[in-house]
Amino acid sequence: MRITMVGSGYVGLVSGACFADFGHDVICVDKDAAKIDALLAGRMPIYEPGLDALVASNVAAGRLAFSTDLAASVRGADAVFIAVGTPSRRGDGHADLSYVHAAAEEIAGAIDGFTVIVDKSTVPVGTGDEVERIIRDANPAAEFAVVSNPEFLREGAAIDDFKRPDRVVIGSDDPRALEVMRAIYRPLAIGRSPIIEMSRRAAELTKYAGNAFLATKITFINEIADLCEKVGADVQDVARGIGLDNRIGAKFLHAGPGYGGSCFPKDTLALLKTAQDCEAPQRIVEAVVAVNDQRKRAMGRKIITAMGGDVRDKTIAILGLTFKPNTDDMRDSPAISIIQTLQDAGASVRAYDPEGIEQAKKVLDDVTYCEGAYQAVDGADAVAIVTEWNQFRALDLKRIKALLKGDVLVDLRNIYARADVEAIGLRYTAVGR
């Protein structure tokens, strides 16, 4: 199949490279000439494990190409995926669909023969209807069908998620479009990945509902963690005790500083806005959003409390800046609010992250960035683990103790055992333990 991917960001690039690896001919298009030039030179615009090698191998095989010419790339394509950004719109929190609409209008003029237009971007219910209207108005003679095919990629594990998905959701009732989509995803049949066909609107809502539910699980266990601290229980025991129930499941029950990233914050907010417009309030999701926003600052105050309640003129080492490991994504990372809370209280911050420093510099001021964990800790009054990168899971605690000026270790990801930390003379604070 000939596939055009409009948008060469996280979703577009990963999806395009994986489709090419399935054997399809793929062109990834982007208006950003600098990004395309970098991709042509083999430089990735994002950090995602294994992506550079996957792109390189498929470019070398002639199955993957990059272009800034959308019209030329669309002509003759069997399917055109719209994979552009849908950030929260300033002022009201609705998903900003301007990039989706602009892509649809431009695609309309280049359609040549029957073409499946696929919404891969995360979009509110009814967006497919609007994309169809835009294309129909711009090119009444065009032969096309609009399909919803939401992505379910975890940053840091996106390639594996794409190639071995829990499910593939296809929203359409057009027989020709469904035939094309089945052909595109046929390589997944060998792994027996479920391909679920439903209405376009149901597919659009499935993405938002899934992310809202996962965000709810995270927020639920974080509130249980707060209760554990009050009653003397260990949240990890509680999470295991409920997670072994198959009706609940163990995933997303790890207490921490709150969720962030490119999906959960904006998608929960967009779902709420859609629900308000439809007069179908989502009270649980409203509470999830409010609690998560408050939690990030609360984790900053937790560090302050661990240091005796006063951090003025103190230096705190922050290990981990990105919202999760194996990504350079700083969007809505808990580290942002945590660091700002510490700075507001008069502390100085030294920070290290394996991949996120360059992105962190764009959103955080007055932070001293270090080249390694031990450099960040050297001379600090306390150290806080904010992101659970693998290299932070086996730190030399004796070396940490020797380098610290103070004696406080705050573990916001519950990586370490209290007994091990306290045995070498450090004061240990965790979450829900």
Positions marked active-site: 263
For 95, which DSSP code?
A: B
Structure tokens at 216: 């709810």
- Give the whole-angstrom CA distance, residue 72 versus residue 110: 7
- Give the whole-angstrom CA distance, residue 289 versus residue 294: 9
* CA nearest to 289, candidates 211, 344, 202: 211
- Give the whole-angstrom CA distance, residue 266 versus residue 211: 10
Structure tokens at 153: 């990629």
Structure tokens at 227: 């209760």
Other CB atoms within 10 A of residue 132 CB: 16
Structure tokens at 172: 């359409």
Other CB atoms within 10 A of residue 227 CB: 12
- Give the whole-angstrom CA distance, residue 420 versus residue 319: 19
112, amino acid identity: D
413, amino acid identity: R
Question: What separation in angstroms does the CA of 49 have from each of 54, 58, 203?
Answer: 10, 16, 28
- Contacts with 93 (C-beta within 8 Å, 6 or more apart), sequence order: 269, 270, 272, 273
Task: Give me the helices (H) in 27-116, please.
Answer: 33-40, 51-60, 70-74, 98-108
